[in-house]
Amino acid sequence: MAQERGTGSISGLREEEAKEFHAFFVTSFIVFTLIAIVAHVLVWQWRPWLPGAEGYTSMLDGVKAAANTIAPYMMS
């Protein structure tokens, strides 16, 4: 398919193809962003990455409990 100089786009797509690609790209980006937001909210609920009122020392209790639970399995 020969195109005249200056009538084609940089990508080589026709206008309707470019619009279709753009719609697919925008939809994919929105879905990805929503999944990332949900993942961040779930991780925040599981383990907040900002310290509480007592600072990071309040998180040590959970770490010590987890270490005490795992340690016997590592020693065998």
Query: What tokens does 58 get?
Result: 């309040």
Each of the 76 residues of the chain gets a pLDDT tens digit; together they read 445 555 667 889 999 999 999 999 999 999 999 999 999 999 888 877 776 666 666 666 666 777 777 778 877 6
Work out the end-to-end distance of the chain between its first and last CA atoms, rounded to an integer number of angstroms: 71
pTM of the full structure: 0.55
How does pLDDT run across 34-45, given as a tens digit for each residue? 999 999 999 888
Distance CA 47, CA 43 (A): 6
